[in-house]
Structure 1
Amino acid sequence: MPSGGSRIGAGRPPQEGSLAEAIRLESGLIRTLPKERTGPTPKWPLRGRARAGEAALWAEMWRKPQAIVWEEEGNHHQVAMHVRTHIEAEAVGATAALRGLLLRQQSDLLLTRAALLKAGFRISTSSTPNPAGTPVGGPTQAKRKTIPSARGRLRAVEDVGSDS
């Protein structure tokens, strides 16, 4: 295996308001999701009825902003399995392996902030819903935003070492 070089997912995610985030916004690499998904909760996809506690958690999960992405990608079964794992992991005597699985599922479903940012999503801070999940204010606002430049901070200084 080669050493050195960049690794997929290596490093910290860009901070809000940073130059890296501004560049990603400008180029359309970051998609802003509304604070909450609106619309009906999908039908429970697993065989049989939802167990005790699963129905409430299922409905709660589908109000999250990430649910817009899950719906677009058809991740209903993955979300249902996460709900089931979540309920089982909360039980007394749950194994470390089950709780580790829960953490991996949270990352895969973009439920952690780091996973959300690395996947190119962020959650809107405004209270107005944005059902399409496009950049807030539309694509024209993202284009109008200026990226700070180092050139604006540079200035010429006189040459103090010259003989003239």
Structure 2
Amino acid sequence: MPRGGARAVSGPAPDPNALRRERKTDAAGWRTLPADGRMGDPPAWPLTEATEREQDVWLDLWEKPQAVMWEELGQVLEVALFVRTLAEAERVDARVDIKKMVRGYLDSLGLSVQGMLRNRWKIAAAAPTAVESVPAPAVRRSSARDRLKVVPSDEGA
């Protein structure tokens, strides 16, 4: 393992809300991805025949917001390799290095929080639904007097 010096992903991840914004790396800006995810059919599976698990993960991944960028950047093969590696890593007897590869794919494809920050991707706020936009009725709080319990006196005893 190398000692000292900078690493490709060393240091804190970029923060879109940072107070200091004059860094050279900020010139690229942040990309906001649609909260609804990518629309349309997924690309054709580029590897040898997919297992049922691989097919399920493939379909799910191409509906995510990050899939908009994968398509734009031509990462179909990288996503397929991630799916295949993930399916292998899920096995009980999976090797540790395979599990580490999955973590690397999660970051590079922006599927982890750290990966989203490093790629400078943000997901847009979801539009409120009709149910969310109706304010809840105000709850009437009881007064201190209402909370007091009346205790009968034993005057007749």
Identity %: 33
Letter paired with 1:44: W
Q: Counterpart of 1:58?
A: 58
State the aligned residue count.
Answer: 125
Q: Shift of residue 116 of structure 1? A: 1.6
Q: Counterpart of 1:117?
A: 117
Letter paired with 1:43: A
- TM-score for both structures, normalised by structure 2: 0.67
Answer yes or no: is the 8 Å Cα contact 2:32–2:124 preserved in 1.
yes
Structure 1: 5+ residue stretches without partners? 129-164
Answer yes or no: is the 8 Å Cα contact 2:14–2:120 preserved in 1.
no
CA-based RMSD of the aligned residues comes to 2.8
Alignment of 1:8-157 (within 5 A): 8-15=8-15, 17-20=17-20, 29-35=29-35, 36-48=37-49, 50-127=50-127
* Matched residue SS, 1:53: helix
Q: Shift of residue 98 of structure 1? A: 0.8
Q: Shift of residue 28 of structure 1? A: 5.7
Answer yes or no: is the 8 Å Cα contact 2:106–2:112 preserved in 1.
yes
Structure 2: 5+ residue stretches without partners? 129-157
Structure number with greater CO (CA < 8 Å, separation at least 6) is: 1
Q: Shift of residue 13 of structure 1? A: 2.3
Answer yes or no: is the 8 Å Cα contact 2:33–2:65 preserved in 1.
yes
Distance 2:104 2:13 in 1: 18
Q: Shift of residue 39 of structure 1? A: 1.4
Q: Structure 1 pair 126/52, CA: closer, same or farther in 2 (3 Å)?
A: closer
Answer yes or no: is the 8 Å Cα contact 1:53–1:87 preserved in 2.
yes
The structure number with the bigger radius of gyration is 2
Distance 1:118 1:66 in 2: 13
Distance 2:94 2:27 in 1: 44
Q: Structure 1 pair 28/107, CA: closer, same or farther in 2 (3 Å)?
A: closer
Runs of 4+ in 1 over 6 A off after TM superposition: 21-24
Q: Shift of residue 22 of structure 1? A: 10
* Matched residue SS, 1:71: helix
Q: Structure 1 pair 79/102, CA: closer, same or farther in 2 (3 Å)?
A: same
Distance 2:67 2:109 in 1: 9
Distance 2:116 2:109 in 1: 9
Distance 1:22 1:40 in 2: 40
Answer yes or no: is the 8 Å Cα contact 1:15–1:21 preserved in 2.
no
Answer yes or no: is the 8 Å Cα contact 2:34–2:65 preserved in 1.
yes
Q: Shift of residue 73 of structure 1? A: 1.4
